[in-house]
């Protein structure tokens, strides 16, 4: 069993895709063990994406991620990190596989509907960034 952090980004919430995204996770047998809707502050968004702070798109990414509410989820299942990434599709929708969330719903490389942890270490850090132990149902 593995856990991963998923975010439905402001564009996904704005487009009314919360239910659609959750349906895809549940259909794929990823169990939702925590979930909340929140609106990131600038400092919170900068902290979450700190690994990208030297990238040219960092400022725009932080502005986008603070532009509206998001939904944070913890997904659990066998190989959950990779399976979630497969359901999401590539960062750039033009490179994403057919039937993935990003291929179906992303606007562009930035406004790409969902975030998913990329490795076991980042999954733990990212889950703890959004949830404490009382908020995660086993």
Catalytic site residues? 115
100 binds ligand IDP (CB under 6 A): no
CA distance 120 to 126: 10
Our finding on whether 104 is near ligand IDP (CB under 6 A) is no
84 makes contact with ligand IDP (CB under 6 A): no
- Residue 29's binding partner, choosing from Mg ion, ligand IDP, none, with beta-carbon cut-off 5 to 8 A by kind? none
CB atoms within 10 A of CB 42: 11
Quickly count: other Cβ atoms within 10 Å of residue 29's Cβ.
11
Residues 7-46 within binding reach of ligand IDP (CB under 6 A): none
Q: Answer yes or no whether residue 82 interacts with ligand IDP by CB under 6 A.
A: no
Burial pattern 66-88, b for ≥16 Cβ within 10 A else e, equals bbeebbbbbbbbeebbebbbebb
Indicate which of Mg ion, ligand IDP, none lies near residue 129 (CB less than 5 to 8 Å, by partner kind): none
What residues between 96 and 135 interact with Mg ion by CB under 5 A?
118
CB of 82 to ligand IDP, least distance (A): 12
| SS3 at position 33 | strand
Nearest to 25, CA basis, from 106, 114, 94: 114
Q: How far is the CB of 135 from ligand IDP (least distance, A)?
A: 23
Binding site for ligand IDP (CB under 6 A): 52, 57, 61, 91, 109-110, 112, 115, 118
């Amino acid at each position: 069993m593995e856990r991963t952090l998923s975010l439905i980004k402001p564009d996904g919430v704005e487009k009314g895709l919360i239910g659609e995204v959750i349906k895809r996770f549940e259909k794929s047998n990823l169990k939702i063990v925590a979930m909340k809707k929140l609106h990131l502050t600038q400092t919170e968004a900068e902290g979450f994406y700190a690994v990208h702070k030297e990238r040219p798109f960092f400022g725009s990414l932080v502005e986008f991620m603070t532009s509206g509410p998001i939904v944070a989820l913890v997904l659990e299942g066998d190989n959950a990190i990779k399976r979630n990434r497969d359901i999401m599709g590539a960062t750039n929708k033009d490179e994403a596989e057919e039937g993935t969330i990003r291929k179906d719903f992303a606007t562009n490389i930035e406004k790409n509907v969902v975030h998913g942890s990329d490795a076991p270490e980042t999954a733990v850090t990212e889950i703890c960034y959004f949830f404490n132990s009382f908020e995660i149902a086993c």
